[in-house]
Structure 1
């Protein structure tokens, strides 16, 4: 069967090839036929060995990457409930599990949720991994559909895949949102529901952001030592302040120092930052992706609503996946680009 593999972790180059079909699904596994997928920024990094002591402990090559997909159930293993062959599903797998860049693949049941007919293939193809990361960041900040209304929220990196989905969900929950993005992506984040927009290159505008909760999805600067948005929260004297960061140094630390040294280093950084934030009255959290079928099902319901804005900015045939994956500039922005088995 057709798959896209990483044969050399030094170059991390993705290429198409033929591989044996997977075995029947094991206990609590689902066998899936690919309909469409996408690229997450972590995928090309993992392909080159980033985070390998934690994410690819056996240094396995060839490696079939891929974190999310829309797929059709081909078969279910023993113990699987709530799914049947022929059903369309939303897929999100951790970098340790992965493998969606193949015509057929097996995943644990917790990576899969059924979807309604009103959720398009294109939207579902790019929703899973970034969407779960967004939901888990919102939860880490203490936000939910029950309490978000009227909260002042700033999303840094709002035009990326995770930021776009977090913006849509938080807007649905009623939060007042300041979206930080490049000037060229200001219209994109406004369409998704941002109340205010800020260009991250404008220091004065960044310093004037009015927010009590900050979700940071942007790449860090200066090895996580400089953080003007966290400094902004320190200057405020309001209840419920929170700072959540998905671009934390856990994976970079284990890449450089191995499992034990990397976890010890990043853990020390986290504890120091969390303690300092706590002393200033700020809730401080890092978020690492977790597989979660219930949260996937929630995302599927939200984005099946015809009133929900689309987070897909580009749609290409599956054959275009290697070129985009191997592009040193990384996945396109804004939102999500998707790659479909059937040409657009």
Structure 2
């Protein structure tokens, strides 16, 4: 069976391989055939051992990366009664669960959601992992389709995969959005619905951001001590202020100090920041990805709507995946680049 694997955590290089097909799906599992997938920033990091004490405790090789996909159901295990062979599904799996960079793979039922014909393969290929992260970040900030209208929201890292999807969702829900992105990606975030754009390299513009809710999808700095967006939020007196960060130091701490030391270090940082924010009247949260079939189904419905702007910036054949994965410049942007089995 064709797959793309990591055989050396020192280099983290992704290579094509021929490996045995997985066994029949076990209880509450689904066997899937790949249609298309994408790269998430965490994938090349995990390939080099990032977060291994939590995510790959036995340092097993070969490792099959890949967190999201659009796929077709091949078979279902005992207990799965709501999916059928031949059905297309949206896929999002945590780094601990298993990779999607294979012709056929098994995943728990909670990692997939059936999709309508109106959701394109290309959009679905890049939607799952980043989409769930975006949706969970919005929820952590207290935002939903029922209450977001009229809220002033700032999205930092708005042109990336997670940021792009969060922007589309918040725009659909009626929030007023300031999008922070590089100068070259300003047009991209405007097309997705940003009301205002800010270049993150402009300190004066960053300091002048007028928002009560911050979604930070870009690391403040390596130590997580300097954060002008959080500092600016503290200067405001409006009710309902919130700050959500997806680039927290948990996995880096665990990588460097092991499970016990890493959890203690990152937990201390989180408690200190959360208590300080609470004293200033700010809701402060870190977001860690969680598999959720119900939320996947919601994303599939939203992005099947023809009025929803695409978050896909480019599509390539699946054979191009290793070159992009191994590129030291990082994950293709803006939005999501996808890799399709049957690319034209």
Provide the C-alpha distance between the structure 2 equivalents of 1:99 and 1:232, rounded to a whole number of angstroms.
Answer: 39
In the alignment, which residue of structure 2 is the partner of 1:82? 82
Secondary structure at 1:327 match in 2: coil
Give 1:222 deviation, angstroms: 4.0
In the alignment, which residue of structure 1 is the partner of 2:338? 338
TM norm structure 2: 0.99
In the alignment, which residue of structure 2 is the partner of 1:56? 56
Give 1:343 deviation, angstroms: 1.8
Secondary structure at 1:285 match in 2: strand
Secondary structure at 2:107 match in 1: strand
In the alignment, which residue of structure 2 is the partner of 1:190? 190
Provide the C-alpha distance between the structure 1 equivalents of 2:138 and 2:81, rounded to a whole number of angstroms.
Answer: 29
Give 1:99 deviation, angstroms: 1.2
Matched, 1:284 2:278: no
Matched, 1:252 2:252: yes
Provide the C-alpha distance between the structure 2 equivalents of 1:177 and 1:343, rounded to a whole number of angstroms.
Answer: 34
Give 1:220 deviation, angstroms: 3.0
In the alignment, which residue of structure 1 is the partner of 2:210? 210
In the alignment, which residue of structure 2 is the partner of 1:142? 142
Give 1:219 deviation, angstroms: 2.7
Matched, 1:19 2:19: yes
Matched, 1:323 2:326: no
Give 1:337 deviation, angstroms: 0.2
Provide the C-alpha distance between the structure 1 equivalents of 2:143 and 2:294, rounded to a whole number of angstroms.
Answer: 17
Secondary structure at 1:224 match in 2: coil
Deviations 1:249-304 (A, max 9, x none): 00000000000000000000000000000000000000000000000000000000
Considering only aligned residues, what root-mean-square deviation do their CA atoms show, in Å? 0.5
Q: Which moved more, 1:65-74 or 1:214-223?
A: 214-223
In the alignment, which residue of structure 1 is the partner of 2:294? 294
Provide the C-alpha distance between the structure 1 equivalents of 2:3 and 2:220, rounded to a whole number of angstroms.
Answer: 33
Give 1:51 deviation, angstroms: 0.3
In the alignment, which residue of structure 1 is the partner of 2:225? 225
Provide the C-alpha distance between the structure 1 equivalents of 2:222 and 2:297, rounded to a whole number of angstroms.
Answer: 37
Provide the C-alpha distance between the structure 2 equivalents of 1:81 and 1:93, rounded to a whole number of angstroms.
Answer: 20
The size of the alignment, in residue pairs, is: 344
Matched, 1:125 2:125: yes
In the alignment, which residue of structure 2 is the partner of 1:200? 200
Provide the C-alpha distance between the structure 2 equivalents of 1:97 and 1:292, rounded to a whole number of angstroms.
Answer: 13
Provide the C-alpha distance between the structure 2 equivalents of 1:98 and 1:173, rounded to a whole number of angstroms.
Answer: 33
Provide the C-alpha distance between the structure 1 equivalents of 2:304 and 2:219, rounded to a whole number of angstroms.
Answer: 30
Matched, 1:43 2:43: yes
Provide the C-alpha distance between the structure 2 equivalents of 1:222 and 1:30, rounded to a whole number of angstroms.
Answer: 39
Secondary structure at 1:238 match in 2: coil
Provide the C-alpha distance between the structure 2 equivalents of 1:60 and 1:260, rounded to a whole number of angstroms.
Answer: 21
Unpaired runs of at least 5, structure 2: none
Secondary structure at 2:75 match in 1: strand
Provide the C-alpha distance between the structure 2 equivalents of 1:78 and 1:166, rounded to a whole number of angstroms.
Answer: 35
Runs of at least 4 residues of structure 1 off by over 6 A? none
Provide the C-alpha distance between the structure 2 equivalents of 1:185 and 1:81, rounded to a whole number of angstroms.
Answer: 44
Secondary structure at 2:223 match in 1: helix
